[in-house]
A = this chain, B = another copy of it.
């Protein structure tokens, strides 16, 4: 028989919680796994994730720790210090909790900090979504996590190739497909006008008409987040379509973007008269909205990944997703008003795309849970020359 494997899952942002829901539920109910949830970062801050912690508790999960560690500033120094404080606090809780494995998701700056702490505590690290190529600081973060991690659950074959090139042990690099895409494939939510207009602030919109959806996050290595946001807003506005605009994620650069959005709403009501601004919806609703959008605009990874499966046309702006494997549903454009406008027009004319399988495997979450429950664990890493 033997003791259950103790698996710690740090959740530090709404986005990762959304995409990991099925995985978390399955880890929680697996007979050989003792799941330890630890919350930190923006997931605890009402304004971004109202009620997420409550939802987690309602799901019958025990929360081992709730660590407030987001430092205000919305700039690089606040972001760096948030990472350091996060690492410091997770160190204490990982030390007390003594998990066998820590699961690190994706490429957010605080996840690298937690991975560093776990590595120094000699805990086996499992990393989900390594090996992709994108822009922004995420590009550095993702690969640095790979070099600290022991088990790798990648979402596509290109990514697997890169993780191996970086010297990881082929026996521990698994292409499980994307959790986001698995969730997108399972969710069949339809959102009503009433529901969407109860969310956020701004104008009532009619999503039974073709509508645009905008998700534009700050690029932390970029100085012009405000200008880029305003370019997008003016272009999107010119289409005079119902628009759902998602508030940017909390990151360096968010402050000026949020400020800019508030200023545009207050001072340029004519530009935002078809727009509704939403900070936060449950993951299923986000997918539902994305699945029916006439076009998704911005720089979210969801445009590349979930939409590849959903077939929603996407206009991806700027460098944030630069290099990420993408299907034909995406048009990549620079921060240029004319290019963005042309691309949106073209995508609206084209309409929906065929579903692509590049990020899709059946049962991604089941595969990951099985591997977490059964893969032999190790801590001493060794570079594998290919």
Contact residues of A with B, CB < 8 Å? 44-47, 65-81, 83-85, 87-89, 91-92, 95-96, 109, 112-113, 116-117, 119-122, 133, 135-137, 139-141, 143-148, 162, 165-167, 201, 220-221, 252, 255, 259, 266, 319, 322-323, 379-383, 385-386
Contact = CB atoms under 8 A, between A and B. Distances in A.
Given A45-B73, A65-B92, A76-B121, 16 more contacts: A44-B73, A46-B255, A68-B77, A72-B72, A77-B91, A81-B88, A89-B92, A116-B144, A133-B382, A133-B383, A139-B381, A139-B382, A143-B166, A143-B167, A162-B385, A201-B266
B382 A322 contact: yes
A72 B88 CA distance: 15
A80 B117 contact: yes
Contacts of A139: 380-383
Given A92-B65, A116-B113, A122 B220 contact: yes
Interface residue SS majority, chain A: helix
A119 to B, nearest CB: 5
Contacts of A147: 140, 143-144, 146-147, 166
Contact of A109 (B68, B120, B322): B120
Given A121-B77, A122-B220, A147-B147, A319 B380 contact: yes
Contacts of A119: 137, 140-141
B162 A165 contact: no
A70 B72 contact: yes
A79 B112 contact: no
A68 B88 contact: no
A221 B116 contact: no
Shortest Cβ-Cβ A-B pairs, 6 listed: A80-B120, A84-B88, A143-B147, A84-B87, A144-B147, A70-B72
